[in-house]
A and B are shown apart, each in its own frame.
Chain A
Amino acid sequence: MAIHSKGKKRGTASREAAAAAAQEEKAAAAFPKSKGIDVPSDPEHSSDDDEDVEEGDFEEMLKKMADDQGIDSEDAEDYLAGDSLDEEEGDEEDESDIHSSDIEGASSEDGDDGSGSESDNESGDESEADDSILERITSRSSDGQHTAVDSQDEEASEEELGEVSMDKLTIRDFGRDIQGWKEYRKTLPQIDAGYASDSSTEEPENTIGSVPIEWYEDYPHIGYDIDGKRIMKPATADELDKFLANMDDPDVFRTARDEVNQQDVKLSEEEIDIIRRIQGGSIPDADYNQYEDTVEWFTSQTMQVPLSGAPLAKRGFIPSKWEHKRVMKIVRAIRQGRITRPSAASSNAKPRFYDVWEKAEQDDDSTQQKRLARRARMPAPRMALPSHDESYHPPVEYLPTDAERQSWLDEEPDYRKKNYLPQDFGSLRSVPGYERFVHERFQRCLDLYLAPRMLKRTTQLNAEELMPKLPDPRDLRPFPSAQALVYLGHTGRVRSISVDPTGLWLLSGSDDGTVRLWEIVTGRCARIWDLKETVHMVAWCPNPDVCVFAAAAGSRTVIVIPAELCDEQKRLLSEELVRAGFNSSAQNEEEEDDDSLPVSWDMPTSTEQASGIHISVTMHKTVKSVMWHRRGDYLATLTAEEGGSSVLIHQMSKHKSQRPFRKLKGAVQCIMFHPTKPWFLVATQRYVRIYNLMQQALIKTLQPGVKWISSIDVHPQGDNVIVGSYDKKLSWFDLDLSVKPYRSIRYHQQAIRQVQYSRKFPLFATASDDGSIQVYHGMVYQDLNQNPLIVPLKILRGHEIRSSLGVLDCLFHPIQPWLLSSGADGTIRLWT
């Protein structure tokens, strides 16, 4: 670039003078001075400036553009270089024009000659000029290499340039002053080589050039030698001499006359041969083989990777100018704001087609998988592999007997088991073509094409998998799992047991007419009360401040204070509770009579009093059940009779009895106070009815769907009830949920006698006539949305079955995860 700019500057400088003169003349012609119009004092300067400015602008713009387009600055420079080269060509032409006008007397045909003469003129700073010329030439030649110009003319001019450079070099080598050299040439004598070379011994050559020889016919000379002297025509022999000479000469036929040099030339054999060939119309060169084998430098076949010797076109590796222009156009358009981005609105515009599957793919993996599965290629069923009897040479046992062959032939083709008969061909060579081949292929293709295929999914189910997932019982500890103690002493069935609120003492009531008090941890029988009649039920008063229990013996309910278990304070409280009623009952005697209830509150006999029995409540029928209210003041009894008076509620502090139900449908099986609400549960044979004692209304009727209810228990939190039945079924009710059981369990082989919740642990147990007790985990969650979890934990076996009666009562220890059970075998067992 530096070289280029230097040359250019010089060019502009030389241009200035000529242009200025021409401009002045033009101006003078165009604009009369009288008009007085201001002419720019230095017009070409300004114009030149303008040009520079423009060019600079363009360069800047390109750079900017490159920046904008993200093209590297180097690329941008390449662009610039390309542009400037193009421009340079134009400049060069201008330059040559100007030069030609500069040099007076020089022919303006060739700019290069001009430049040569220019160097003549500028001999003052010769070396500098030469240098500059050389530089220019080299730069040009290098330029020429870069600018692969297609046209022939340019190539030609380049060759000329090369000659010029040669001239210049010789000029420089020889030294120098051209003028001096010309003089020197004039003074120099004729060159005579003086040695006997072939060329020097010849006649001086005629150097007339390509002038038709006819022109010299009338002249005595035939041309000029190198020194410009006339070459005189030699004297020609006359025709006779020629003839004689010809006659003498055997080579006359091969002699030709060279008119230019005025001599005879003897043609060689080769030349004659050539002439002969030309006359014969064949190729003059004898060695030339016109039927040579073709060498396919460029094959007619298309090669995969074409081999081409053609040089790569320039456009292949320089950035395209037109492309650049187009880009610039776009850039300009963008700058001017004619091209804008697509607006947001257009991008949000509704798509032309609604993607039905879009959602499905997004949200549902399983459906997508299904679709993929549907799309999956279904392989064609494999053809059965040929068996032994399809062999061309099967073992003998596979070959059919005549009878088999006959039966095969007699059968309908569609009903044949095989559609071929095993045949023995002996050798593979003798096997004929299979006649049914095409038919069978066609059938198979039909099958594959027309018969719908689907993947058959077989589901394998294990019995274990169908079982509900339950936690491992080992994780649900503690629960009673083994027998720890046996309380021996009763001689009859132990119908009922009860544990005192502290958990230290156990009461049991038996058919042998006794109530026994046991120390739980040792199994020591601490006390026996003989009540003479079958004891159906014993129940500790749940009030921890007093030490009182009730026992139902025959038609009597006795209230007992076991004196040895309670300290002074407790005994006083207990006695106060039990005896307070005697005063009030005396006052209210008349009222009671009015009620005509079948109840009498009595003082027991003195012997009984000494044993701790403080009250005896006598009813008309056998008392089957005694239940305390949780506060320990009320006591409900159930007698073995039909109707409303079977259920009575007694108030301990007032010695008063009430009949809560005037009428009761069905035989009442068991009764119970609700542990948290003022509710009372009455179980008849089929239904459990829940009454609100405060409002005196029926709240719910639970329908366990069993034939004969045996026992009920309410969960200590009060929302769940379990019902056991004589038809082996246990029903769990969620009172908030439904009057139908939440779950029914039938694991016992015999009637369920008793069901019990643990007051402290999430456990419940069922006692059955099959002699076993089943312990369940029955977790009731505080979260109302979560259903109770019921897990069977353990079957406790140990009680003997006497006269088809097994376990009659079971009870959880109030503090420990222990279970107590009593059975028909007269034992009470502790399970820990």
Chain B
Amino acid sequence: MDTSSGAQIQIRLVAKQLKYAVPDAPIVVPQQLQRYGLSEIVNHLLGNEKPVPFDFLVDGQFLRGTIATYLAEKSLSAENMLTLEYIESMLPPTEIASYSHDDWISSVAAAGSDRFVVGSYDGVVRVWNAQSECEDELRAHDSAVKCVAAVRDAAKRSKVELISGSQDRTAVAWGTKSGQRKPLYAARGHTDSIDSVAVNPSNTHFVTASADSTIRFWTLAAPKQSEDSQIAESAVSAPAAKKRKAAHLDIMTKAAIGTLNGHVGPVTSVCFNADQESQVFSGGWDHSVRTWDVASGVNVATSLCDKVVLDIDYSMHSRLIATGHADQSVRLWDPRSEDSTVVKLRLSSHKGFVSSVAWAPASAYMLASASHDSTIKVWDIRSRTPLYTVHATSEKDKGKKLLALDWHKSLLLAGGESGSLRIHAVNSQYSDDQDRTSA
């Protein structure tokens, strides 16, 4: 230790989680302390027998490195008192299961903590339960399944449990009929591969984004009868329709209730605004992040960066949009801001395309991203560096691209080129409910 190790600073420890509150008296600590040392102090103050790891925030940013380096970076005086907010730190995600598939996984969705839907490039949608059993293999698509969406709390409004979109230009809604999952209807209308599907929070509608540069808006409820005629009218000549009917005679056709035209290239992803159900965000190859009003079908706002948007997700807690990009970075946007070009934050640590992003369902700060570099990174947006980088554990997964990611409660699901659905447990203790109420 050098001479500066003797330098000390007065700090005040603040906690928003009431159960971890410590007396609000300033204490003097060495400047050389890092997170671990501070955490020990807090545990000591709390008198915890089993130490709880804490993370420390200074001025809304995570403390990385020593206090001294922080002071030097911000050119702050060591004379003043430093207020440190501490929160229970998140434990590194641990891989708890891996479900193997024959083909590439294109999409994953958790229908609940014990039921996972996986769309695969072999055109099959598989439903897994927590006991690593494949409950169902749903086959209705001619081509690779590109996206799946689970309808949580399904039974209440409609029978639809999950929706899958495919390269065969259809999205199929699946529901349980007489104890068996069956396709309820096929949403037809897109002229190119459906790359993304999203269900609105109140489970009444869903949107699909397609490579034909359109976004279509559908009701979730199953149609009383096939709405083929509209499709036939719109585009397809009779023999082709016949042929298709022959292929999927038992599946009813559903027509879109609205089309959002505006993107000038393939639309890669779409998501609902959880706070405002008529609003939809989308991103595509034209480097734009667009906000749509689905009721009127109007492109409300367009934000541009100069990289292809591969995935988009909206957090109702932080009210931010996270996008994954082809330039190996994650960008955060504020959809409410008027300035259309300002990226609020750019997180770059990945070594490949960021194929998928997912906000933590219960946090305003946590975010996960999956990339072609086969890693999942968990971010706290108060820190520019990722909290954790989850590398592939099995030899099979190493170096394989990750294409899909979903975060449901304390589970982080990811799948990709290797065909294995990686399920990670995220620190379940960690929750910033307290933060949210205070915010």
Contacts and interface: CB of A to CB of B under 8 A. Distances in A.
Interface of A: 478, 484-485, 502-504, 521-524, 526, 564, 567-572, 815-816, 832
A564 B104 CA distance: 18
B236 A502 contact: no
Given A484-B326, A564-B142, A568-B235, A524 B266 contact: no
Given A484-B326, A572-B237, A567 B169 contact: yes
A815 B285 CA distance: 9
B102 to A, nearest CB: 14
11 contacts: A478-B306, A484-B353, A484-B372, A485-B352, A485-B372, A504-B266, A522-B104, A564-B167, A567-B191, A569-B236, A571-B240
B30 interface: no
Interface residues of B, number: 36
B121 A524 contact: yes
A672 B143 CA distance: 36
Contacts of A526: 144
B240 A521 contact: no
A815 B169 CA distance: 22
A526 B190 CA distance: 20
Interface of B: 104, 106, 121, 142-144, 167-169, 190-193, 211, 235-237, 240-241, 244, 265-266, 268, 285, 306, 308, 310, 326-327, 352-353, 355, 372, 401, 403, 417
A572 B211 contact: no
A522 B311 CA distance: 13
A521 B311 CA distance: 12
Contact of B211 (A504, A523, A524, A816): A504
A564 B266 contact: no
A497 B372 CA distance: 22
With a 10 A CB-CB cut-off, give which of A503, A568, A815 has the most chain B CB atoms: A568
B245 to A, nearest CB: 12
Contacts of A568: 235-237, 240-241, 244
B310 A521 contact: yes
A87 B106 CA distance: 129
Which 9 residue pairs spanning A and B have beta carbons closest together? A568-B240, A567-B191, A568-B236, A564-B143, A569-B235, A567-B169, A504-B211, A832-B326, A815-B265
Contacts of A832: 326-327
Nearest to B403: A522
Contact of B401 (A478, A504, A522, A564): A522
Contacts of A478: 306
Contacts of B236: 568-569
Given A503-B285, A569-B191, A569-B235, A521 B353 contact: yes
A526 B146 CA distance: 13
B285 A484 contact: no
Nearest to B167: A564
Nearest to B310: A521
Nearest to A570: B191
B353 A485 contact: yes
Given A478-B306, A569-B236, A816 B352 contact: no
Nearest to B287: A816
B168 to A, nearest CB: 7
A477 to B, nearest CB: 8
A502 B266 contact: yes
Nearest to B353: A484
Given A567-B169, A832-B326, A484 B237 contact: no
A815 B264 CA distance: 10
Contacts of A502: 192, 211, 266
A524 B104 contact: yes
Contacts of B191: 567, 569-570
A564 B240 CA distance: 14
A524 B211 CA distance: 16
Given A522-B104, A816-B308, 17 more contacts: A484-B326, A484-B372, A503-B266, A504-B193, A522-B355, A523-B417, A524-B121, A524-B144, A524-B417, A526-B144, A564-B167, A567-B191, A567-B192, A569-B236, A571-B240, A572-B240, A815-B265
With a 10 A CB-CB cut-off, give which of A521, A570, A571 has the most chain B CB atoms: A521
B361 to A, nearest CB: 26
Contacts of A521: 268, 308, 310, 326, 353
A502 B286 CA distance: 12
B285 A816 contact: yes
A523 B401 contact: yes
Contacts of B241: 568
Nearest to B142: A564
Contacts of A503: 265-266, 285
A832 B327 CA distance: 8
A98 B168 CA distance: 147
B403 A484 contact: no
Contacts of A815: 265, 285
Contacts of B121: 524
A564 B168 contact: yes
A832 B403 CA distance: 18
Contacts of B106: 522
A485 to B, nearest CB: 7
Contacts of A572: 237, 240
Contacts of B244: 568
A529 B190 CA distance: 27
A523 B355 CA distance: 12
A212 B330 CA distance: 149
A815 B327 CA distance: 15
Nearest to A816: B308
Contacts of B190: 567
Contacts of B327: 832
A484 B352 contact: yes
A798 B40 CA distance: 48
Nearest to A832: B326
A572 B238 CA distance: 11
Contacts of B372: 484-485, 523
B329 to A, nearest CB: 12
A510 to B, nearest CB: 21
Nearest to B192: A567
Contacts of B353: 484-485, 521
A564 B142 CA distance: 8
A478 B308 CA distance: 12
B242 to A, nearest CB: 11
Contacts of A485: 352-353, 372
Nearest to B241: A568
Contacts of A567: 169, 190-192, 235
Nearest to A818: B326
Contacts of A504: 192-193, 211, 266
Nearest to A522: B403
A523 B310 CA distance: 14
A524 B146 CA distance: 12
Nearest to A526: B144
A485 B310 CA distance: 15
Contacts of B401: 522-523
Contacts of B142: 564
B229 to A, nearest CB: 15
Contacts of B266: 502-504
Contacts of A524: 104, 121, 144, 417
B305 to A, nearest CB: 11
A564 B141 CA distance: 11
B177 to A, nearest CB: 29
B107 to A, nearest CB: 11
Contacts of B143: 564
Nearest to B244: A568
With a 10 A CB-CB cut-off, give which of A504, A522, A523 has the most chain B CB atoms: A522
A810 B306 CA distance: 23
Contacts of B193: 504
Nearest to B213: A502
Contacts of B168: 564
B28 to A, nearest CB: 48
Contacts of B167: 564
Contacts of A522: 104, 106, 355, 401, 403, 417
B211 to A, nearest CB: 6
